[in-house]
Structure 1
Amino acid sequence: MRFGTRRVLVLGGTGEARRLAGKLAGRPDLHVTSSLAGRVREPQLPPGEVRIGGFGGVDGLADWLRSEDVAAVVDATHPFARTITDNAVAAARRAGCPLLVLRRPAWEPVAGDDWRPVPSMAAAAALLPELGERIFLTTGRQGLAHFAGLDLQFLVRAVDPPEPPLPPRTTVLLARGPFSVEDELALLREHRVDALVSKNSGGSMTSAKLVAARELGLPVVMVQRPPRPDAPSAGTVEQAAAWLDAVLRDHAG
């Protein structure tokens, strides 16, 4: 790290995290470290220094923030990565380090949508038998155990192969977004899908499935986000960069 630079930790894995790292990486006053959890086999790496793997919980992260003299943390993890976010908020407070939660806005239903909001994956699984036989499960590879006891036909899309337990009748499709509306329509028709299950992740990478479901009149079981953490937050990369500038100015003063 160059003399006179300030270290910023970006907890990443999302498109917003990569864009923020790219925006900050070229600044001579900053040393940006992006941290990835390591759950994806071939992650899309952001610009700058990258750290893969956990810190050892709240204590380990707090110690790392102190030892590396981190000036600020931006938690730009997935909206459903609740444990990571809770640990980051607690560790930053313990270390006396400013933290911002960067979360893309959630999707909102529009005219023609048939959304069935549920609070959890377990609630989504309980609702499915009344919606049809063929289910497009687009929640990623984690949490599939909630659906393992259902005798329905599942199409599961994930970046990496999911681990058991899985539903007994499962077809796995390995793919990484973004996806087009045309491709999503073709997929839903090919597999004669009756209903979709999605987490309300927000963003444009996978939103085409919602447009396709709307056009075909299919119900979408939408798992709602965990509660927002008690910490400063931003919805865009630009807002996060402005917050960081303000924090660094205040600290310098």
Structure 2
Amino acid sequence: MLILGGTAEARALAAELVPSGMRVVSSLAGRVTNPRLPVGEVREGGFGGADGLARWIAAEGIERLVDATHPFAERMTASAAGAAALAGVPLLVLRRPGWREGPGDRWLRVPSLEAAAEELGRSFPGGRVFLTTGRRSLPVFAGLTSMWFLARSVDPPEPPVPANAHVVLDRGPYTVEGERALIGEHRLDVLVTKDSGGAMTSAKLVAAREVGLPVIMVDRPPLPVGVRLVASVGEAVAWVQAG
């Protein structure tokens, strides 16, 4: 089977399945330097869209496909759905649950990064922004020249980036204490993040709640029509074992 990975859930799924003797190939997009590698066979790099992925599936004799990529890997998920249909193999999408707003949170949900940038310009002109939407998103905010950004990512961002941006290279998991300290040290006015879900990076939301920091939350893109979705590694294991 093929796991489209790069997430903690993908690594956990491979760890569950490899000991069974099944051939498990985990595919990584190769966009992160020094990624955490799963057990078993690993392939890095793209496939060339749905057609290329379908050809690879056929050539390698893949019988089942699990898309366990990041919840915002919209193009990869679309390619997985297209390739599964072309190759005639079953597809499962494994996505950890998104975050939910709780008492004390001050969230505004928006449908896209572009909408987040518009909201910043409208509601926080001249503000100081904690931006944790990933290195590839920074060009969306480059036009907001009146703001100051604390932008955090695993690898250096690609230009263009906002003129007034301080980039912090770091990888989770993070602590509430550390996130609270960042917010205070840089006198931040608002947090902008994507609804990635999971515990690895949720500390920023707890810290924001504790200090009363508003959050602009970018919603996940919709899944392709008709795909089967599960929210846990256990459910994915059961699907694979059911044949």
- Per the TM superposition, whether the score is higher than 0.5 is yes
Which string of whole-angstrom CA distances, capped at 9 and with x for unpartnered residues, describes residues 28-82 of structure 1? 2x00000000000111111111000011111111011111111101000000000
**Distance in 1 of aligned mates of 2:202 and 2:19:** 31
**1:118 matched to 2:110:** yes
Cα distance between partner residues in 2 of 1:200 and 1:38 = 22
Structure 1: gaps of 5 or more residues: 1-7, 249-253
Corresponding residue for residue 211 of structure 1? 206
2:17 paired residue among 24, 38, 50: 24
Q: 1:176 aligns with which of 148, 159, 171?
A: 171
Scaled by the length of structure 1, the TM-score of the pair is: 0.93
The answer for the alignment partner of 1:196 in structure 2 is 191
Match of 1:9 among 2, 25, 28: 2
Q: C-alpha deviations, 1:176-224, integer Å up to 9, x for none? A: 0000111110111111110000000000000000000000101100000
Query: Is this contact kept in 1: 2:77–2:223, CA < 8 A?
Result: no
- SS where residue 70 of structure 1 aligns? coil
Deviation at 1:228, TM superposition (A): 2.3
SS in 1 for 2:34: coil
| Superposition TM-score, scaled by structure 2 size | 0.97
1:127-206 equivalences under 5 Å are 127-129=119-121, 130-131=123-124, 133-151=127-145, 152-206=147-201
SS in 2 for 1:31: coil
**Distance in 1 of aligned mates of 2:58 and 2:159:** 39
Inter-partner Cα distance in structure 1 for 2:124 and 2:163: 18
* Secondary structure at the counterpart of residue 198 of structure 1: strand
Corresponding residue for 1:4?
A: none
One-letter code of the match for 2:87?
Answer: A
| Aligned residues: CA RMSD | 0.8
Residues 93-138 of structure 1 show CA distances to partners (whole Å, capped at 9, x for unaligned) of 1100011000000101001000011011011001113236100000
Tell me the CA shift for residue 26 of structure 1: 1.0
What residue in structure 2 maps to residue 231 of structure 1? 227
Aligned-partner Cα distance in 2 for 1:105–1:206:
13
| Equivalent in the alignment of 2:82 | 90
Q: Which consecutive residues of structure 2, in runs of 5 or more, have no partner in the other structure?
A: none
How many residues in Structure 1 have an aligned counterpart in Structure 2? 239
User: What secondary structure does 2:25 align onto?
Assistant: strand
Q: Does 1:107 align with 2:102?
A: no
